[in-house]
Structures are given as C-alpha cells and as structure tokens.
C-alpha cells in the first residue's frame, strides 16, 4: 500500500530528476518553444519539495494536492497550471484515505489526466504531455514498471508529431522532428514513481 510518505518520496524523486534533466528539458523547449521548460519545472518542484519539508501532509491525497497547488502558484509557463491540475485533481480523487493501492492510484491519476485534457483542450497525438501521461495511466493498471516504460515510449513517439496545442503549435510543420518537452518531463514524473515503488 502507498501512504503519504510514499507520495512525498515520489515528489522528491521527481524534483531530483527535474533538477538532473533541467538542461535537457530546456534544450528541447528551445527547439519548439521558448527555452524555459527546465527552469519552469525546476522552480516548481523545488517549491513542492520545500512545502513538503515544511509540513508533510498526513495523507497521500493531501500530499499530491499540496504539490499541485505549489506548481500552480510557482510556475509561470503553461506547464505549471497543467501539472498543478494533474496533481491536485489526482490528490482530490484519493480523498482522505491513509493508504492507496496501485489500482487506486491509477484510477485517481486517470481523473487527473482527464482534468489536464479538459483544461488544455488537448488530446492524444497533439504532441503534449498527454502523449506520455495517457499511455502511462493505462499501463499503471498493470504495473509501475510498465507505466514508466509506456510514458517513455509515449514521449519518444512525439518526435514525428506536429504540435497542435501550446507554444509549439505556432511552428506548424516545423514542430515535427523534435521531442516534446512536456511529454519528456511527464516521463520523468512517471519514471520517478516507478523508482520509488521499486
Ligand atoms: P510554456 O509553453 O508556457 O513556455 P513550458 O515550456 O513550461 O510552458 O511547457 C511546455 C509544455 O507544456 C509542452 O511541451 C507541452 O507538453 C505542454 N503543453 C502546452 N500546452 C498544452 C496543452 N494545451 N495541453 C497539454 N499540454 C500542454
Ligand atoms: Mg516553454
């Protein structure tokens, strides 16, 4: 079973991964965006880690909801409200249970991903973070490892796509041939989940 401490470890592992990969995320965003994705997420997850350090919430749902609020308030780019909504909505779905199992987390994360789709108006194949998150949620019903693999494959599969949402969509066909930064960071988030579950 996954408790509040597990969710904190997930958020810390994500913060560490974002820190490690910030330059790469920014490089991807410099090709089809405005070169701030690494900095945006670094600022966001640093704020998440600081808030969790200060006062770790008592339940898994409260940990993710707090993380989501921190992302929304600390990140200026599109990805802040989107990731913030993902975690806040997932946390809300978990309610005030003290523990959740993998299937329960998969279901809650599914609601979180649906909220991201609703907020941003994007769908599968639009070359966004959803291209990593949607397959990850589906695979999380089977295992943490498969979820991480599905997210990574989803991020890689954005390379040939033409962006239809967000800043990269302004480039039209010139967005083809580049990996989407948000799908890449989403794969880091799900890889971190797999890491802490292992
Ligand atoms: P900004 O585009 O404001 O500079 P970031 O660079 O931090 O913000 O994030 C860009 C990423 O956000 C994109 O690579 C994409 O994955 C994601 N994104 C942008 N718009 C949307 C949207 N409408 N729906 C889902 N994801 C989106
Ligand atoms: Mg950007």
Q: Please tell me the residue having the least CA distance from ligand 1 atom 22.
A: 120
pLDDT digits (tens, 9 = 90+) for 79-95: 999 999 999 999 999 99
Of all residues in the chain, the percent with pLDDT exceeding 90 is 99
Top mutation candidate among 22, 129, 155, 183 for ligand 1, by most atoms within 8 Å of CB = 129
pLDDT at 76 over 90: no
- For atom 24 of ligand 1, the residue with the nearest CA is 120
pLDDT band at 69 (very low <50, low <70, confident <90, very high): very high
Window from 13-17, 38-42, 49-53, 74-78 with minimum mean pLDDT: 74-78
Mean pLDDT of 62-78: 96
pLDDT digits (tens, 9 = 90+) for 179-196: 999 999 999 999 999 999
**158 C-beta closer than 6 A to ligand 1:** no
Across residues 91-109, what is the average pLDDT? 98
Q: What is the pLDDT of residues 119-163, one digit of tens each?
A: 999 999 999 999 999 999 999 999 999 999 999 999 999 999 999
The pLDDT of residue 78 is above 90: yes
Mutation pick for ligand 1 pocket among 118, 155, 182 (CB with most ligand atoms within 8 Å)? 182
What's the CATH architecture for 4-197? Alpha Horseshoe (1.25)
- Please answer whether residues 117 and 130 qualify as being in contact, where contact means their C-beta atoms are separated by less than 8 angstroms: yes
pLDDT average, residue stretch 5-15: 98
Identify the bridge partners of residue 100 per DSSP, sorted by sequence position: 2
Phi, psi of 128, rounded to the nearest 5 degrees = -135, -175
**pTM score, whole prediction:** 0.98
CB of 122 within 6 A of ligand 1: the answer is yes
Average pLDDT, the chain: 98
Going from N- to C-terminal start, the domains of the chain cover 4-197
pLDDT over threshold 90, residue 167: yes
């Amino acid at each position: 079973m996954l408790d509040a401490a597990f969710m904190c470890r997930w958020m810390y592992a994500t913060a560490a991964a974002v820190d490690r990969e910030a330059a790469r995320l920014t490089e991807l965003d410099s090709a089809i965006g405005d070169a701030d994705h690494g900095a945006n997420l670094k600022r966001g997850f640093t704020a998440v880690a600081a808030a969790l350090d200060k006062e770790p919430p008592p339940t898994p749902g409260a940990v993710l909801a707090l993380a989501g609020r921190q992302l929304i308030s600390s990140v200026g780019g599109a990805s802040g409200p989107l990731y913030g909504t993902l975690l806040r909505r997932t946390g809300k779905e978990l309610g005030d249970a003290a523990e959740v199992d993998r299937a329960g987390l998969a279901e809650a994360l599914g609601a979180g991903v649906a909220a991201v789709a609703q907020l941003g108006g994007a769908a599968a194949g639009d070359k966004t973070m959803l291209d990593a998150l949607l397959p990850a949620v589906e695979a999380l019903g089977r295992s943490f490892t498969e979820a991480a693999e599905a997210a990574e494959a989803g991020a890689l599969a954005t390379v040939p796509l033409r962006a239809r949402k967000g800043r990269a969509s302004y480039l039209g066909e010139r967005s083809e041939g580049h990996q989407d930064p948000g799908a890449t960071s989403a794969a880091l988030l799900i890889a971190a989940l797999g890491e802490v579950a292992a």
